[in-house]
C-alpha cells in the first residue's frame, strides 16, 4: 500500500457522506493513491461491522485501501488491508498475529519517542500529529496546537526509508506540498475532504501537490 492520501473517517459526517467523499476522491486520483481509515469509537460493533463491510466493497471497486482503527479482528473479518493503532490499541506484533504478517499497520505518533517505538516495533507507517493546529469536527473538541513541519523532518530522519511517514492535523491542499518537502510520504486528513463541497477537486489538488515533491 503506497497511498498518498488517507481519509480518516468521522461519524459526524454520516455514512452516506463518507462514502460519497471516498468515491469522489478515489475517482479523481490514480488508483492506489487513496486509503480510508475507518475510525468510530462510539458505534456498536454490529453496526460498525456493517459499515466496514460497505467501505470494503467501495474501496475494493475503486482501487483504494481500507484500514480499521484499533480493531485487528474486525479488520481481518471484513478483509481490510490492515489496522491503525492508537493509544491502548495493542502492539504491532499483536495486530499482525491477527491480520497476517503482510498487513498494513500504522501507528499514531505524537512525539519522536513514538516514532522510534513504531520503527522498532516494525510498523508500516507512523501518522505524525498534529502538524498544524487542528480542531476535530465536534464543536466541543479541544483545539490542538500544531507541532510544525519540524516534527515531520525529525520523524523522517528517525524512520529513514524503513517506515512511511504521514502528516496529520490541520493538513489541507494548501500545505500538503510543504508536508511532502518536510519528509512526509503522504497526508492523513479528516475535514479537509469530508467537510469539502468538492472533495474530488481538492483531493486531486492535494495528490498533485504531494506528487510534485
**Rounded Cα gap, residues 202 and 197, in angstroms:** 9
More confident site: 3 or 144:
3
DSSP tag of 140: T
Mind listing the domains of the chain with CATH numbers?
Answer: 5-211 (3.20.20.70)
**What is the pLDDT at residue 89?**
80
Residues linked to residue 127 through DSSP beta bridges, in sequence order: 108, 166
Q: Is 169 left (phi over 0), alpha (psi -120 to 50) or beta?
A: left
Instruction: Identify the CA nearest to 68 among candidates 105, 43, 98, 101.
Output: 105
- Element at 157 (helix H, strand E): helix 149-159
Q: pLDDT of 107-149, one tens digit each? A: 999 999 999 999 999 999 999 999 998 766 554 456 677 889 9
pLDDT at 134 (0 to 100): 74
Range 1-23 average pLDDT: 94
> Mean per-residue pLDDT for 81-101?
92
The residue behind cell 526509508 is: 161
Amino acid at each position: 500500500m503506497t497511498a498518498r492520501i488517507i481519509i480518516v473517517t468521522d461519524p459526524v459526517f454520516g455514512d452516506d457522506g463518507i462514502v460519497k467523499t471516498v468515491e469522489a476522491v478515489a475517482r479523481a486520483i490514480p488508483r492506489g493513491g487513496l486509503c480510508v481509515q475507518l475510525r468510530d469509537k462510539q458505534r456498536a460493533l454490529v453496526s460498525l461491522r456493517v459499515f466496514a463491510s460497505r467501505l470494503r466493497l467501495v474501496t475494493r471497486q475503486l482501487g483504494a485501501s481500507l484500514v480499521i482503527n484499533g480493531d485487528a479482528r474486525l479488520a481481518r473479518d471484513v478483509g481490510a488491508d490492515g489496522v491503525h493503532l492508537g493509544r491502548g490499541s495493542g502492539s504491532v506484533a499483536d495486530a499482525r498475529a491477527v491480520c497476517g504478517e503482510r498487513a498494513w499497520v500504522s501507528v499514531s505518533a505524537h512525539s519522536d519517542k513514538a516514532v522510534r517505538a513504531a520503527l522498532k516495533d516494525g510498523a508500516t507507517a507512523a501518522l505524525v500529529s498534529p502538524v498544524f493546529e487542528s480542531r476535530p469536527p465536534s464543536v466541543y473538541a479541544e483545539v490542538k496546537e500544531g507541532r510544525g513541519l519540524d516534527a515531520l523532518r525529525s520523524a523522517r530522519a528517525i524512520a529513514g526509508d524503513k517506515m512511511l511517514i504521514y502528516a496529520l492535523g490541520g493538513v489541507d491542499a494548501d500545505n500538503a506540498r510543504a508536508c511532502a518537502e518536510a519528509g512526509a510520504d503522504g497526508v492523513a486528513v479528516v475535514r479537509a475532504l469530508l467537510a469539502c463541497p468538492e472533495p474530488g477537486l481538492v483531493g486531486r489538488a492535494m495528490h498533485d501537490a504531494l506528487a510534485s515533491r
